Structures are given as structure tokens and as C-alpha cells.
A and B are shown apart, each in its own frame.
Chain A
Amino acid sequence: MADQRPGRPRHLDLDELLTDRSTRVLVCCGSGGVGKTTTAASLALRAAEQGRRVVVLTIDPARRLAQSLGLEELDNEPRTVPGALPPGSGDGELQAMMLDMRRTFDEMVAGHTTPERAQVIFDNPFYQTISTSFSGTQEYMAMEKLGQLTATGTWDLVVVDTPPSRSALDFLDAPQRLSSFLDGRMIRLLSAPARAGGNAFRKLVGSTFNLFAKAVSTILGGQMLADASAFVQAFDTLFGGFQERANTTYQLLRAPGTAFVVVAAPEPDALREASYFVERLSAEKMPLAGLVLNRTHPVHATLSGARAREGAETLEASRGDALAAAVLRLHADRVETAERERRVLGRFTRAHPTVPIVDVPAMATDVHDLAGLREIGRRLAS
């Protein structure tokens, strides 16, 4: 890169991170469409090739990427990736799994209560809503699964992809959101506002809240409120256990041995999201390894864009070699693209000068086999 500015960002050395035995958890995050899942899978494969026992947790991989990892069906269990490592190639091991959020939720419930009580919860219509379409459940379950995978001690590195949320930060907030939803305070207020809350509360908003509760029950229907209320009651005994687990996972994310890799494309939106993420991680005291800038278009020749364009014009005017003219035009386009990408990145690095960065040149075709993942891994580590 021809970037001469002082304070040029440090290079993110991913091989160092992957081979460092003290790295136990690697979280790939970033906004949708930047290649998070592919990055996670490539890093996992590369770490396995370097002798580590790795499991990669993918959230919603594109079909063919899933197939290349041997994930034909969603069974919520890690499976060895066929053909990932040639036989006799060392101690490394690669397993992959796809998150099944409903099943993860079921297991969590079953693990915290008696079979009878668990059945009461499973049978509640409201549980269907919470375990499948509550926004944030996927994020929460991804973190829960991460906690489970690390707790088994079967792998020495867990690589996790994060859900394609509206915001890349959702998975940090999801456990808290679900907790405040399930702690029962609101549902008690809504189903019996007169009894819940203290005197002061009643004086302050009591009558309004009654009105509100009535309105909500008109909109949602009495049955739904009754179901939700029954659900929260049944859930009450589990609640402490859930909170404790969420807290353990949160601590795991802050613990030494965990590293976050933020993935972005050289586009303003993706880098803006990456910026928020970097700020949030730092506020939460979570360890950021660096930024993977995916799908860049570095120039391969130092010829300036202006000279290339001039050359092309000369050739076109003199009806010279059409191919050479085309090649020069291409190069001029490419210089312009690379400059724009650098400008967009510049905004990020000015705000976050200490974040190490690696850029991964774009591939001409999408990656959907192990060879492609290996190539991405090579580019990530270069």
C-alpha cells in the first residue's frame, strides 16, 4: 500500500492470534453482508491446519457454504468437517455446527428444571413466540451455545460467527433484553396493575397504567396476556439460573483468551457499524484483536491512474492496441476504487488509530468449498 501517512494502522497478525494457545474463543462480528461467516469458517480451518482442535459455530450460513462444512442438516451438534484436514497432518481437528436456536432454548429450559415443569413451559403457546421470533433470541442462544461449547473443554479454540442482526451490537444486549422481559415485573403490572407496584407508583401512574393495560389487552387479546403471564410464572424458578448463565457468558467474553475480530467491507455503512462496535467493546472492556477489512481491491501496479488514462486515450485516438487500452482503463478504474476504499478506511482509522487492520483482497467468485476457505485463510493471514 502506498499509504504514507504517519500513524498508519498496525497490521493485524491473525496467524499469531490463531497459533497462540491462550486464544480460546474468537468472536467474529460486523454488520450483515460483509462476509462474517466465511471469515469465521476460514479462520477456524486455518487454526485447525496449524494443529489446534477447533469448533466453529455458524449462525445462518449460505447453503453451499454450509455444505462445504458438511452441515447438511441442522442438528445443533458439532460434526467433524469431512476432508478439512488430510489424514496424518498433525493433531489439528475441525468441527462445525449450525445454531438451532429453538433446540438450544429447549435444552436450556430442560437443564434448569424438572421434566414436568419443562413440559408446562414447552406447552405454553407463548413459549413458541419467545423461542422462535422474539428479536434477540437468536443472539442470546448464540451466546448460550458459545458458553456450552467452551464449558465442555473438548476444543481448545471456539470460533463463533454472530447473527446478522439489525445492529452488530445486538448480541451483547440480547441476554439483558430477554432478562428484563422475563423477570415478570411488567407482565404482573399488565395483568394486574392494581396489585403490583408500591403506593408511590400507584399515585404516580396508577390510573394511566390501568388504562394502558386495558388498551394493551384490547390490542393483544386477553388470551395472549394470560398465556404470557402463565409463562412468566412457570419461568420464575428458572430465571435465576438463566441470569447466572448469561452472566457467566458475559464474563467469558471479557476474559483473557477471548478475542473479537470485527469484520467490515470497505463501505461507509459497514465501517460505521464497525466503529460503533469498536467503541462498544472498549466500553465493555472486551478484548478487540482488530479489524478484518474484507473484499478490498488493491492495485497490483504502481502506475498512476492519470498516466494509465492518458495512455488509454493515446491508444484509442491512434486506433492502437485495443487490449492494451482496455488494460489501462481497467487499471485507472482500479486505482480510483482503491483510493476510495482508502478514504473510507481513513475515516475509521482516524477515529480508531490503534486498532490493527488486515485487508483481504476480493475474490472473483464466491467461496463455497474448502479450497476457497483455505485461500481466504491465506489472505487473512498475509
Chain B
Amino acid sequence: MTDQRWPAALAEARLHVVSGKGGTGKTTLAAALALALAAGGRRTLLVEVEGRQGIAQVFDTPPLPYAEQRIAVAPDGGEVRGLSVDAEAALLEYLEMFYNLGLAGRTLRRMGAIEFATTLAPGLRDVLLTGKVKECVGRTVGEDRRGGRRVPLYDAVVLDAPPTGRVVKFLDVTKAMGSLARTGPIHSQSEGVVELLHSSQTVVHLVTQLEDLPVQETLDTVDEIREAGLPMGGVLVNRVRPSRLPATALTGAATGAGLGAGLRSGLEAAGLFLKDEEVDGLVSETVEHAERVQVEAAVRSRLDAAGLPQLELPELTEGVDLGGIYELAELLREQGVR
């Protein structure tokens, strides 16, 4: 099992797309993954595409501009850069590259012309966003001392993608291109995007929690991803809480049967002489916990049946702050992320 959690195929990928149901911690885990992959002196890029400034919030930095900048340093010298891609800026970048608009670009933007153009064809937005991601994955720098070959600037790019409901549509660039002209610079670049997204350089990870709906949505999305011919990566199971109860006590505990009396003497042995309502409170907390553990076991077996690499991240009871991201990154490393 240990080696299956992060198989070679995942280790070789350079573009890690992270999606998940809203509220499951997609951005947090994308950030932790970028940090984990940066360990050992590597350089990674964390990209967001929905203009939410989620990266800045997670790393506690000022809002990111449309430019790659350093947002975190990995413990042993690696580096994470962050980028917030926005479709309008990406379109302007294109226009400037191919049509030399100069300063007028800003005026066009102010007039709403750029927004209008990206709105005219909803597919164009996705093509522009994924196009920028591809450009980052493919960018090379300097020269390899030995072979004189240029090397990729980023060892890995982690994309904080739209949530599960929209992610396959977002990544299905071929379909989006159908609504655009069949020639021209954006078209040819999009062909490169399609190639990258369907190659072994890319993997799509899904973040979930051990609850009914998120797991169902994850399984549905796995099917969609496979149908679209995109390479499925791992499932990142977030906010796993430890089962505190001895396995033998679990079934009984879920009903609350026989918890009270035995519990009281146990508590007294620990020097805790509690009022009845206190003991009742502890019992009801325990019942809730036991019920939840049972639900978790049931959804876990459904998840296991999908046969995907799984990584687990615990619930950080004190909440996720910058330190929490480092903790999660380390836990990912321990489970084989490299």
C-alpha cells in the first residue's frame, strides 16, 4: 500500500491539477502539494484561475498580481511561486504578443472590450487560462551545463482548478476550441494544451472528505475525467479525524447503549467526579463520534472500490494557517509525494 500512494506515474507528472467539491479544502491541499513538491531544492508554481485570491489568503501574502512571485520557501531550500491567472490579462498578453497593441490595451480593458471579447465565447476564457498554464509548464530557462540544453523553469506546476462541478468542462479544451476560429495563434496554442493535458505529464487529483456527498461527487468526477481521456491522479482525503474509540466499543457506542454506568466508574478512576448532565454530555458526544466513524467507514469502502491512489490528511483542529500548510506538506512527503 505504501508505495501505491504516490506511484511513479504521479512522481513523473509535471502538471498537477487539483479539484474537489467546494468546501473540501481544495486550495489548501493544492498549496500543500506545491510546497511538498518543492522540497529538496526544487521550484514549483502554484496557479489559481478563478480570481479568488485563495493563494494569497492561504500563504498570508498581499493579493497576487498577474505575475509569478515567490510565496513560500520549502524547508530545505525549495521555492514555491504563486500566480493568479485572469483571462482578460491573458488575452491582453496575447494581443500584445501577436498584434502589438502597445499601451492601448489598457484603454480597451477600461472600456470593457477585453471582458466583452472573453465573454463572447465562454470557451475562450478556459482556452486562455489553460493556455497560460501550459506556457508555465513549458517554460525553460538557462542552459544545462553538460548538454547545453535548456531546462524547465518549474519542476512542477500545481493548478488550483475549478471545483468538481466545472473542472472537466474547464479541462476539455478540445470542446472549448470548437467555438473558436480554426486557425490563428490561439488555436495552435490550444492544440498544445490539449496534448499536454492528455499526456503523462499531467495528472488530475481530487480532494474529498469522508462524507457521503463529497465522496459521491468525487466518484462521479472520476468517471467524467476518464471519459474525457484525462489522466486521473490520486484522491486526497482531507480532514480525516482519528477514531478514538476501541473497535470493539464502536457498534455499541453508536447507539449509546451501556455507555453511562461503566463510563462513570472509569471517569472516577481518572479522578473525575462529574455531575449526571456532564456524563450525559460526554455520552452524546461519543455517540455522535461513533455514528460519524461508521459513516466514514461506509464511504471509505466506496472510495476504495475506485482503486485510485489515496493520500490522507488529518483535520488540523487548530485550523489551517501558514504553519498548517507546512504540516500538511510534510505529511504528503511522508506518504511518498515527490
B-contacting residues of A (Cβ < 8 Å)?
Answer: 31-34, 60, 62, 129, 133-135, 164, 166-167, 177, 180-181, 186-187, 189-190, 204-205, 208-209, 211-212, 214-222, 224-225, 228, 265, 267-270, 272, 299-303, 307, 310-312, 314-315, 318, 320-331, 333-334, 336-337, 340, 343-344, 364-366, 368
- Give Cα distance in the complex from A220 to B182, angstroms: 9
A-B pairs with the 3 shortest C-beta distances?
A33-B23, A324-B266, A32-B22
- Of the candidates B181, B246, B274, B283, the one having the most CB atoms from chain A within 10 angstroms of its own CB is B181
CA–CA, A32 to B52, complex, Å?
13
| B297 close to A (CB within 8 Å) | no
A368 to B122, CA, bound (A): 34
Interface residues of B in 81-107 (CB under 8 A from A): 94-95, 98-99, 101-102, 104, 107
* CB of B289 closer than 8 Å to a CB of A: yes
Are A364 and B288 closer than 8 Å at their CB atoms? yes
> How many Å from the CB of B50 to the closest CB on chain A?
5
Assembly CA distance A302 to B320 (angstroms)? 26
Contacts known (A181-B119, A224-B121, A224-B179); A303 close to B266, Cβ less than 8 A: no
What is the minimal beta-carbon distance from B277 to any residue of chain A, in angstroms?
8
Q: Is the CB of B181 within 8 A of A218?
A: yes
Q: What chain A residues lie within 8 Å of B272 (beta carbons)?
A: 303, 307, 311, 328
Asked whether A318 and B113 contact (CB < 8 A) given A221-B180, A303-B282, A323-B263, the answer is no
Q: Closest approach, in angstroms, between the C-beta of A88 and any C-beta of chain B?
A: 34
Give B258's nearest chain A residue, CB to CB.
A323
Does B281 have its Cβ within 8 Å of any Cβ on chain A?
yes
Q: Which of A303, A315, A340 contacts B274 (CB 8 A)?
A: A303
Are A366 and B267 in contact (CB-based, < 8 A)?
Answer: no
A259 to B122, CA, bound (A): 33
Instruction: Tell which of B120, B278, B319 touches A302, judged by Cβ atoms closer than 8 Å.
Output: B278
Give bound CA distance, A209 to B244, whole Å.
66
Chain B residues with Cβ below 8 Å from A336 are 317-318
Kindly state the separation between the CA atoms of A189 and B120 in the bound complex, as whole angstroms.
13
Q: Looking at B120, B165, B320, which has the most chain A CB atoms within 10 Å of its CB?
A: B120
Also in contact, A366 and B213, with CB within 8 A (given A314-B270, A327-B286): yes
Q: Which of A60, A217, A315, A329 has the most CB of B within 10 A?
A: A315
Q: Contact at B180–A301, with CB atoms within 8 Å?
A: no
Contact call B113/A209, Cβ cutoff below 8 A = yes
Complex contact B23–A324 (CB within 8 A): no
CB distance from A51 to the nearest CB of B (A): 32
Q: With A208-B101, A221-B181 as given contacts, are A215 and B95 in contact (CB-CB < 8 Å)?
A: yes
Q: Which residue of A lies closest to B299 (CB)?
A: A366
Q: Are A337 and B284 in contact (CB under 8 A)?
A: no
Q: How large is the interface on B (under 10, 10 to 19, 20 to 34, 35 or more residues)?
A: 35 or more
Q: Chain B residues near A224: list those with CB within 8 A.
A: 120-121, 179-181
User: Quick one: which of B24, B107, B285, B320 contacts A331, CB cutoff 8 A?
Assistant: B285
CB distance from A276 to the nearest CB of B (A): 11
Residues of the B chain whose Cβ atoms lie less than 8 Å from the Cβ of A186: 112-113, 116
Flag whether B228 is at the interface (Cβ < 8 A).
no
B65 within 8 A of A: no
Determine if A300 and B117 form an interchain contact, defined as CB atoms under 8 angstroms apart: no
Residues of the A chain whose Cβ atoms lie less than 8 Å from the Cβ of B244: 326-327, 329-330, 333
Chain B contacts of A337 at CB under 8 A?
A: 315, 317
**A134 near B186: Cβ-Cβ < 8 Å:** no
**Measured between alpha carbons, how far is A307 from B282 in the docked complex, in Å?**
13
Contact residues in A for B292 (Cβ distance below 8 Å): 364
Cβ contact within 8 Å between A299 and B285: yes
**5 A–B contacts, CB within 8 A, in A order:** A32-B163, A205-B104, A267-B23, A303-B274, A322-B246
**Partner among A167, A334, A340 whose Cβ is within 8 Å of the Cβ of B318:** A340
Given contacts A219-B181, A321-B269, A333-B317, 9 further A-B contacts (CB under 8 A): A33-B23, A208-B102, A212-B108, A215-B95, A300-B281, A312-B270, A327-B283, A340-B317, A344-B319
Interface flags for B285-303 (1: CB within 8 Å of A; 0: not) read 1101101100100000000
Of A31, A129, A301, A344, which is within 8 A of B282 by CB? A301
**Cα–Cα distance between A310 and B267 once the two chains are bound (Å):** 11
Tell me, in angstroms, the Cα distance from A303 to B283 when the chains sit together.
13
Q: Are A268 and B104 in contact (CB under 8 A)?
A: no
Contact of B179 (CB < 8 Å), options: A129, A205, A299? A129
Contact A364 B295 (CB under 8 A): yes
Q: How far is the CA of A43 from the CA of B96 in the complex (A)?
A: 52
**Do B99 and A211 have beta carbons less than 8 Å apart?**
yes
Q: Which of B113, B123, B184 contacts A212 (CB 8 A)?
A: B113
Q: Is the CB of A208 within 8 A of B266?
A: no
Residues of B within 8 A of A31 (CB): 22-23
Cβ of A265 and Cβ of B23 under 8 Å apart?
Answer: yes
* Contact yes or no, B23 A166, CB < 8 A: no
Q: Is B57 an interface residue (CB 8 A)?
A: yes
The interface residues of chain B lying within 8 Å CB-to-CB of A302 are 278, 281
A311 contacts B271, C-beta separation under 8 Å: yes
Q: Which of B22, B121, B122 contacts A164 (CB 8 A)?
A: B22
Q: Nearest chain A CB to B32's CB is how many angstroms away?
A: 15
Q: Is the CB of B23 within 8 A of A32?
A: yes
B211: interface (CB < 8 Å): yes
For B245, list chain A residues within 8 Å (CB): 323, 326, 330
List chain A residues, Cβ under 8 A from B277.
301
CB neighbours (8 Å) of B280 from chain A are 300-301
Give the residues in chain A near B211, CB-CB below 8 Å. 366
A96 to B277, CA, bound (A): 41
CA distance A343 to B317 in the complex (A): 12
Which of A62, A301, A322 has its CB near the most chain B CB atoms (within 10 A)? A301
